[in-house]
Chain A
Amino acid sequence: MSDIRAYETVTGTPYEAGFGDYVQLLKPRVMSLVVFTALVGLLVAPVGLHPVEGFAAILFIAIGAGASGALNMWWDADIDQVMTRTKRRPVPSGRVQAGEALGVGLALSGISVIMLGLATNLLAAGLLAFTIFFYAVIYSMWLKRSTPQNIVIGGAAGAFPPMIGWVCATGSLSVEAFLMFALIFMWTPPHFWALALFMKEDYHAAGVPMLTVTHGRKSTRTHILVYTLLLMPVGIGSALTGIGGPFSLAVALALNLWFVVGAIRIWRRDEGQAEADNYATEKSVFKFSILYLFLHFAAFLAEVALKPFGLGGW
């Protein structure tokens, strides 16, 4: 006899979720990007916050992002099980029940929004609530399975954190906040389409209407180039505002030029060439796109760090 009541996983091995499995529900890697961009949004704002309030703000923005990740895992458990990239996640692998993911997601959504409102201001809390709603309902439940424009519009969910960080400090929206939002919003499509080019079987098998599936791979390559060209003025423009300076302008020029060169290289290739070198160019542009966003925001932060020495900003 035993008092052990364990869930059965898909492989048939008894399993009961550990603490780490619930942490995995919150998509820690996505959270790290959210923490970084929200922190930059908060630190580059012209108004300072008390360190405790700033810490609380970043923590609850991150928890809110994690909550929307848990809600996404609850809703997408069926397609996550099909895709190689996602089948080891806690819900499709059977380590956490889908209902638990829903409960964790809803509870953390409520806690993060209320606590952000108490720690900073109601506008920031409202924006966080809208971000969670946008990612869980607009993107996951509606757009993801219905249109190839899913990540174009859904990318907005990932673009809100620096704007929320800015609002936490200032209590209002401004052109700098909108440009930081626009930077991530315009960056998301070429970033994910580069991924979709070399993870082609995943989305096809799951029936997710990615651009590669609905419009073909040549069209996707063209879309990557067009969106990278559209991203360029946003990236350079943001460096010309109050959060930028000569240093971030130089960084923006270099990063955008390099991203466009990468997009042209992707655009000029066909499937035969890509398969011959196992999508080497697509993979390198995808990796660079992560660096692109990190360095862009790091440059804004550097402007703030250089100001006491009379170097940062315009």
Chain B
Amino acid sequence: MTFRPEHEIYKRRFGRNLGLGLTLAAFVALVFALTVVKVTRGDPMKAYDHVIDPQAAPAEVSE
């Protein structure tokens, strides 16, 4: 007993799905890489966590 040979159209559909899958994966990787570049670039940032920094705060506030 033998299996019926797979129709050529399934191969083409698989190729199309694989191509789309790889394209989407590459897109996700690119957006991630862009995000990393955008976030890490520039001068070092300082977070205050809602606490007044005496050096950065205006004079009257620090008094």
Contacts and interface: CB of A to CB of B under 8 A. Distances in A.
Contact of B15 (A18, A59, A119): A18
B12 A18 contact: yes
What does DSSP make chain B's interface, helix, strand, loop or mixed?
A: helix
Contact of B37 (A14, A22, A53): A53
A4 interface: yes
A230 interface: no
Contact of A56 (B15, B34, B36): B34
Interface in B1-51: 7, 9, 12-13, 15-16, 18-20, 30, 33-34, 36-37, 41
Interface centre among B18, B20, B37 (most CB of A within 10 A): B37
Nearest to B13: A16
Contacts of A20: 15, 19
Contact of B30 (A4, A14, A18, A59): A59
A52 B12 CA distance: 33
Contacts of B18: 19
A50 interface: yes
Kindly state the interface size class of chain A when it binds its partner: 10 to 19
Is the contact region of chain A dominated by helix, strand, or loop, or is it mixed?
helix
A6 interface: yes
Contact of B16 (A6, A18, A56): A18
A17 interface: yes
A118 B33 CA distance: 13
Interface string A1-40: 0101010000000101111101000000000000000000
A18 B16 CA distance: 5
Nearest to B7: A4
Contact of B9 (A16, A53, A59, A118): A16
Contacts of B41: 50
B33 A52 contact: yes
Contacts of B7: 2, 4
Which of A2, A18, A19, A20 is most buried by chain B, counting CB atoms within 10 A of its CB?
A19
A16 B12 CA distance: 8
B10 to A, nearest CB: 8
Given A52-B33, A56-B34, A118-B34, A19 B15 contact: yes
Given A4-B7, A16-B9, A18-B15, 14 more contacts: A4-B9, A6-B9, A16-B12, A17-B12, A17-B16, A18-B16, A19-B15, A19-B19, A20-B19, A52-B34, A52-B36, A52-B37, A56-B34, A118-B34
5 contacts: A2-B7, A19-B16, A19-B19, A50-B37, A52-B37
Interface of B: 7, 9, 12-13, 15-16, 18-20, 30, 33-34, 36-37, 41
